[in-house]
Chain A
Amino acid sequence: MTQHPGPGDSGLIFNEPVIFERGAPGRKGYSLPESELSGGEAEVDIEKELLREQEPLLPEVSEFDVIRHFTRLSQWNYSIDTGFYPLGSCTMKYNPKVNEAVASMPGWTQLHPLQDEDSIQGALELMFHLQQDLAKISGMDAASLQPAAGAQGEFTGLLMIRAYLESKGNPRKKVLIPDSAHGTNPASCAACGYEVVTLKSSSTGVLDPETVRQAMDEDVAALMVTNPNTLGLFETHIQEITKIVHDQGGLVYCDGANQNALIGKARVGDMGIDVLHFNLHKTFTTPHGGGGPGSGPVAVKKILEPFLPTPVIAHKEGHYYFDKNRSQSVGRVKSFYGNFGMLIRAYTYIREMGAEGLKQVAERAVLNANYVRVKLQDDLHLPYPQICMHEVVFSDKKQSEVGIKTMQIAKRLIDYGYHPPTVYFPLIVAGALMIEPTETESLHTLDSFIAAFKQILEECEIKPRLILDAPEVTHIRRLDEVRAAKQPHYIYTTKSEKQFKKHILKFLNSL
């Protein structure tokens, strides 16, 4: 094994079977009260044909089996708590522990969503203030906390745009989306019945007002932008662009995935944006949880306020309440009121940071990204060399001359103890490597990462085998994704597992 400068070359790698292969019939991990009621053995009043006959496939394990199983699994995960996670567009910053402590207070966790308003005044007060804070931070007039994630926020925002245009007599047909956008943008448009028109980014990486002007007509309902865009660049013509759209009666949606670059430094509301979604799990430090739960509140300008999802949290004479009386609302996108547990964390974070703290977040995030940009720009191709915001996008152009591709560099970074950057996105940069360091990483971490990166790029020239074989120090080696597509196994069954083991033997014999 080669020498590595960073963490990651651990010797404590355990094996752990699927949980269904642990345990024994009759072993148990639960503790339930003895029944105080008659019943138990008595017949139930449900038709026999509607009762379960066969036990479901659940393991029969002790509590300790469960603890050991999932603790071991957890150790196969890379996480922010473990190391540097420069995954572009995902804002993998430190998730404060105080957020978790606050969110686990029984005064929140033990609240039923259908309790009386009187008995949840603290929760409503929190939500009301979070609505207001998000509106202030983005320079908007009102907000809804209901969407469960960014994509649901997009859907909600577009529904509101559509409802607004319908109220003016014509919902229109198309939405303009730059070719650098997240895939959720066009997918959300389709969900709202809009046709997608893709706009080409200019050679400078930002949207050219001329492109928008040419595409804009009276069939266009909205333009969806991401600002800063997915190249990490501020859309410098944003004011002119939003004016072009507004002049023809359209509205402008902003994907808020990249708000970490702007909080306290600029507000999308000042740029002519009509609706924005936040990703609380990016900008406002709620944990990503291995793929969620997220939270995707939407903030809007006055003209869209009547269309917010119902209910809205309102306040009157010292009393907080659910305002359900909203005749123009687009309706409900989620049961109850959003991912409340995430709202608590975001609110806690805002209260700890304050205005000055949040401003520094954006400043340090941008400083860190530009530091990485400058330090790696001689080694990696940098398609858009200007000052970036919170993230920087390189490509594998130089390395591909010696046959090394982005994915291979990414996998080699794992051997050095780092999570790879976002790869092959945005789609407009071939072999993209998108690095977002975030503000919570120190100069020392950045320097170590940069040194590792440079060493890998050197290996590309002199020891390409190391790159092609990576990762080599992980619990598992390069996985066969083609096989997963062609011969998928989505669930565990004893039969499929036998077959699977046969395949493995065959494979090993072929090596």
Chain B
Amino acid sequence: MRYLPHTPEEIQKMCQDIDVQNIDELFQVIPEALQLKQLLDLEPPLCEIDLLKHMRELNHKNKNLLQVDAFLGAGAYHHYIPVAVNSLVSRGEFLTAYTPYQPEISQGTLQAIFEFQTMVASLTGMELANASNYDGASALAEAALMALRVTKRKKILLAKSIHPQYRHVLKTYLLHQNVEIQEFDWSENGRVTPALIKEYLDDQVAAVCIQSPNFFGIVENLSQLESQVHQAGALLIGCFSEAVSLGMLKSMGDQGADIVVGEGQSFGNSLNLGGPYIGLFATREKFVRQMPGRLVSETIDSEGNRGYVLALATREQHIRREKATSNICTNQGLCALTTAVYLSLMGPKGLARLARQNYDSSHYLQRSLSALPGVELKFASPFFNEFVLQFEMPVKDILFKLKEKNIFGGVMIEQDFPQLKNCLLVCATEMNSKKQMDHYMQALSEILNSEGSL
């Protein structure tokens, strides 16, 4: 076994030094009845050649996005990842280090996180950001928990236009916190308006949570809601699932949000069937003691050199135990590094240009598709890079037929939103060429026509 370096002679010598006959004697501390006498019932081991063959075979049972034209978003986005990202992130010095508990020999990880925190804070319009949460969904749940601690209130208002999985995770996290969760609707144009929250805003509301761009891709106007929320003594939590939008849209911090959380997958992290992704979490300095997760701070060493350490650990589980601000320990460190590397490559101008390309592509596609008879753009509001189409026939059939033409046409949203019958969430990014989009329109047109003639 190539990962186990001991020779039989070495094992014998070590046993002698420990004063046991053999290794099994060490396991006699386990009561006899609990010792496993037979081998585990697992598949036989594979050598590297066979292992790679087996894994390639499994791979081939999947159809990946390089093999199809895909227009899928809904919380996970297909973006270009510069080659330099993985070349840096896969360095063993980053990949195989643990949490930076010994700062003198972890400055690489620590400085990178400091740079990451700076970028996230700046992009969200906030004063600081933590070192990451698991994903956008759990970051939103942790933000709600934080708002409960800050305000000492017991109610959370949640826009129904937030990603359904984020709302689901939030509800799971808050299940036993003795809290009321009130969900509110979107208006006819898909946006949240002040009137929609008004009736729920009482003196027990800890936070109002809004996503922008929301699950339907629509850009929300938080500044319209901000004064109302704050007058009620609640916090405004802004969340996002498409981080590339931050390159184009006014930050939610600048629109008055108190906590901004979201999914950072789009910043250089592969789609990977949904993980690992990265929860971004930013807030204002006055709330720092209620913040979950790790934080890195700049400091100096005994010779006056600039250096970095984990700070404010007194909020965390290993010090505060059941009184900690969160149970989170291991976070998404390497994805934070990925994000920092990616954002360094893009710079402010690259990110702005990328965001604009996403906007342009998706709008081109939307115009092409909704021009077809039997296709309606569901919401007449500004969107970023995804949009909802409504059809006159079941989306399931359309998607099936598109798939036959090698197109993944979008995400069906009816299961989560029964009121959005025959609706499809379609996304286009810089990965979708004009040719691909024209092909999509052509294919859809043929499908709808053939249906119509039946």
Q: Do A and B come from one complex?
A: yes
Interchain residue pairs with CB less than 8 A apart (30): A33-B430, A35-B357, A35-B360, A39-B363, A52-B250, A56-B123, A67-B88, A112-B271, A114-B75, A115-B70, A148-B276, A151-B327, A182-B318, A287-B96, A293-B335, A338-B274, A341-B272, A352-B45, A352-B46, A352-B48, A354-B43, A355-B42, A367-B11, A367-B15, A371-B18, A411-B102, A420-B102, A478-B104, A490-B121, A500-B306
Which one of A96, A113, A148 contacts B271 once the chains associate, using CB atoms below 8 Å?
A: A113
Write out the residue numbers on chain A whose beta carbons fall within 8 Å of the beta carbon of B172: 159, 309, 330-333
Bitwise, B322-356 to A at CB < 8 A (1) or not (0) is 11101111111111010011011111111111101
Contact A58 to B348, CB < 8 A, known contacts A66-B88, A107-B60, A107-B64: yes
- B209 contacts the other chain (CB 8 A): no
In the complex, how many angstroms separate the beta carbon of B25 from the nearest chain A beta carbon? Answer: 8
Contact A289 to B51, CB < 8 A, known contacts A56-B123, A60-B347, A341-B270: no
Bitwise, A95-135 to B at CB < 8 A (1) or not (0) is 11010111011111111111110011111011000000100
- A251 contacts the other chain (CB 8 A): no
Contact A71 to B123, CB < 8 A, known contacts A121-B61, A334-B138, A370-B26: no
Query: Which of the candidate stretches A298-306, A394-402, A438-446, A459-467 sits at the interface with the other chain?
Result: A438-446
- B66 contacts the other chain (CB 8 A): yes
A359 touches B94 (CB 8 A): no
- Measured in the bound complex, the distance between the Cα atoms of B166 and A332 in whole Å is 9
A70 touches B52 (CB 8 A): no
Write out the residue numbers on chain A whose beta carbons fall within 8 Å of the beta carbon of B275: 113, 148, 293, 334-342
- B19 contacts the other chain (CB 8 A): yes
Q: Which of A348, A350, A479 lies at the interface centre, i.e. has the most chain B CB atoms within 10 A of its CB?
A: A479
Write out the residue numbers on chain A whose beta carbons fall within 8 Å of the beta carbon of B21: none
- B298 contacts the other chain (CB 8 A): yes
- Measured in the bound complex, the distance between the Cα atoms of B121 and A238 in whole Å is 48
- B55 contacts the other chain (CB 8 A): yes
Write out the residue numbers on chain A whose beta carbons fall within 8 Å of the beta carbon of B285: 490
- A192 contacts the other chain (CB 8 A): yes
In the complex, how many angstroms separate the beta carbon of B79 from the nearest chain A beta carbon? Answer: 11
Query: Which of the candidate stretches B28-36, B228-236, B446-454 sits at the interface with the other chain?
Result: B28-36
Which single residue of chain B is at the shortest CB-CB distance from A31? Answer: B82
Write out the residue numbers on chain A whose beta carbons fall within 8 Å of the beta carbon of B118: 20, 57, 491-493
Which one of B34, B93, B137, B302 contacts A77 once the chains associate, using CB atoms below 8 Å?
A: B93
- B290 contacts the other chain (CB 8 A): no
Q: Which of A159, A488, A492 lies at the interface centre, i.e. has the most chain B CB atoms within 10 A of its CB?
A: A488
In the complex, how many angstroms separate the beta carbon of B263 from the nearest chain A beta carbon? Answer: 8
- Measured in the bound complex, the distance between the Cα atoms of B351 and A28 in whole Å is 11
Bitwise, B231-271 to A at CB < 8 A (1) or not (0) is 00000000000000011111100010000000100000011
Which single residue of chain A is at the shortest CB-CB distance from B343? Answer: A58
- Measured in the bound complex, the distance between the Cα atoms of B309 and A476 in whole Å is 11
- A451 contacts the other chain (CB 8 A): no
- Measured in the bound complex, the distance between the Cα atoms of B28 and A492 in whole Å is 55
- Measured in the bound complex, the distance between the Cα atoms of B281 and A497 in whole Å is 23
- A214 contacts the other chain (CB 8 A): no
B332 touches A477 (CB 8 A): no
A149 touches B97 (CB 8 A): no
- A193 contacts the other chain (CB 8 A): yes
- B198 contacts the other chain (CB 8 A): no
- B195 contacts the other chain (CB 8 A): no
Contact A63 to B361, CB < 8 A, known contacts A79-B92, A105-B55, A114-B74: no
In the complex, how many angstroms separate the beta carbon of A75 from the nearest chain B beta carbon? Answer: 6
Which one of B44, B331, B434 contacts A36 once the chains associate, using CB atoms below 8 Å?
A: B434
B271 touches A364 (CB 8 A): no
Write out the residue numbers on chain B whose beta carbons fall within 8 Å of the beta carbon of A429: none
Contact A348 to B51, CB < 8 A, known contacts A37-B434, A367-B6, A500-B306: yes
A291 touches B42 (CB 8 A): no
- Measured in the bound complex, the distance between the Cα atoms of B408 and A412 in whole Å is 57
Which one of A87, A105, A112, A188 contacts B273 once the chains associate, using CB atoms below 8 Å?
A: A112
B4 touches A440 (CB 8 A): yes
Which one of B88, B129, B350 contacts A71 once the chains associate, using CB atoms below 8 Å?
A: B88
- B297 contacts the other chain (CB 8 A): yes
The A-contacting residues of B in range 352-401, CB under 8 angstroms, are 352-354, 356-357, 359-361, 363-364, 382, 384, 399
- A321 contacts the other chain (CB 8 A): no
Write out the residue numbers on chain B whose beta carbons fall within 8 Å of the beta carbon of A507: 300, 304
- Measured in the bound complex, the distance between the Cα atoms of B271 and A115 in whole Å is 11
A491 touches B45 (CB 8 A): no
Write out the residue numbers on chain A whose beta carbons fall within 8 Å of the beta carbon of B19: 374
- A326 contacts the other chain (CB 8 A): no
The B-contacting residues of A in range 267-281, CB under 8 angstroms, are 267, 270-271, 279, 281
In the complex, how many angstroms separate the beta carbon of A94 from the nearest chain B beta carbon? Answer: 6
Which one of B129, B411, B433 contacts A114 once the chains associate, using CB atoms below 8 Å?
A: B411
Which single residue of chain A is at the shortest CB-CB distance from B272? Answer: A341
Which one of B17, B35, B138, B273 contacts A152 once the chains associate, using CB atoms below 8 Å?
A: B138
- B403 contacts the other chain (CB 8 A): yes
Which single residue of chain A is at the shortest CB-CB distance from B76? Answer: A113
In the A-B complex, the 3 residue pairs with the closest CB atoms: A336-B274, A107-B59, A354-B45
Which single residue of chain A is at the shortest CB-CB distance from B145? Answer: A191
Write out the residue numbers on chain A whose beta carbons fall within 8 Å of the beta carbon of B52: 98, 101-102
- A40 contacts the other chain (CB 8 A): yes
Which one of A63, A101, A387 contacts B345 once the chains associate, using CB atoms below 8 Å?
A: A63
The A-contacting residues of B in range 129-159, CB under 8 angstroms, are 129, 131-132, 134-138
- Measured in the bound complex, the distance between the Cα atoms of B327 and A150 in whole Å is 10
Contact A74 to B29, CB < 8 A, known contacts A49-B250, A150-B329, A504-B304: no
In the complex, how many angstroms separate the beta carbon of B260 from the nearest chain A beta carbon? Answer: 13
B40 touches A136 (CB 8 A): yes
